Structure 1
């Protein structure tokens, strides 16, 4: 299935979309995304988005090292990437962020980023799908951990 989807995307690329999609894909790298939400965290004092992106990226990098799945052949790639492909770190990080932010525009960026990674030919469909699942799980974990808690406080003891 991975090969069929990649072939379909490759055969239906639109020439004038190639460069903008590569640029969009590069702008949403986990490190740039982390720096952007960290800067926003400094302004807003809301740290869960930066934590979600950072934890998502670290999780993805560890899994890439363990799984060590090759990316699609360079023939399909509009931009050359040589490290492991499973899971897509871009997808993990931005879906973790979307899960924490929970706004329609964040989900739209997450889906667009995931599709862009396939469009530029650097990920298989399953790399993306695994990235979505891990990203949502990381985002849910961070959201759960950053919820205000009620109950007994240390001062009450």
Structure 2
């Protein structure tokens, strides 16, 4: 994807989330019917085994654990490649997604579904967008895009990341912690971060590279291999 296409796609996604958020903030949510219908559907289809599964997913992919996992994955990639590029792109993606999510939370300040409909300890923090879903999708998709073994492996990784992100989104809806539009906005924020982060991170690394140890500087060798391939 070209730089212009990346910028345009990112702006469209962020603008769409902002527009939806502002509509919600002024009580003109165009998807209010879908929000309420989705909550009612999950309330009517709760079962003990599904509750245990949803609770486990929500616990494992809580923002704190996602942040720790992002650092671990990034450090692992940097140690393996002996250059910063892939690891910092993953970390940068999660950081950008998290920052955007927090800005939207503060700006929109949407109420969660009623506490009586929530499973577990009631959550009172701003609802739009979901921090769980934003962080999970950003981390898993960014990590999947680092796969370079083959096209099939990369496709499998992206598909797995997408399905797992969707599962976390469903778990948050099932638990009554978020509205449907919260998790939809979260996916959009995560995708925007995945698209924008490589450009932002690469620009920062380019500025810092002259000051980094030689072994951490990304390069392309005369054989035309990428920096990651050259490091292996």
Which TM bucket (shorter chain)? 0.7 to 0.9
Match of 2:65 in 1: 32
Which residue in the other structure is 1:118 paired with? 173
* Map of 2:137 onto structure 1: 95
> What CA distance in whole angstroms lies between the structure 2 residues aligned with 1:107 and 1:71?
25
Superposition RMSD in Å: 1.8
1:77 match:
118
> Who wins on radius of gyration, i.e. which is larger?
2
Within-5 A mapping of 1:2-21: 2-21=35-54
Q: CA deviation at 1:22?
A: 1.0
- Assess if the C-alpha contact under 8 Å between 1:72 and 1:122 holds in 2: yes
Q: Report the secondary structure of 2:177's partner residue.
A: coil
Larger deviation: 60-69 or 139-148? 139-148
Secondary structure (helix, strand or coil) at the match of 2:178 reads coil
Q: Is the 8 A contact 2:123 2:177 kept in 1?
A: yes
Structure 2 unaligned spans of 5+: 1-33, 79-86, 146-156, 204-209, 211-232
Greater mean deviation of Cα atoms: 56-65 or 98-107: 98-107
Structure 1 residues 72 and 92 mapped into 2: Cα distance closer, same or farther (>3 Å)?
Answer: same
SS at match of 2:46: coil
**CA shift for structure 1 position 147:** 6.1
**Match in the other structure for 1:151:** none
Corresponding position of 2:225: none
Q: Aligned partners of 1:132 and 1:41: how far apart in 2?
A: 21
Pairing 1:130–2:130 present: no
Q: Within 1, Cα distance between the matches of 2:91 and 2:62?
A: 14
The aligned residue for residue 52 of structure 1 is 93
The offset of 1:134, in angstroms, is: 1.1
More moved, 4-13 vs 35-44? 35-44
Moved over 4 A (4+): none
Q: How much does 1:108 deviate?
A: 1.6
Indicate conservation of the 8 Å contact 1:21/1:120, yes or no. Answer: yes
User: Within 2, Cα distance between the matches of 1:147 and 1:62?
Assistant: 23
TM-score scaled by length of structure 1: 0.86
Question: In the alignment, is the contact (CA less than 8 A) between 2:130 and 2:183 conserved in 1?
Answer: yes
Question: What displacement does 1:13 show?
Answer: 1.3
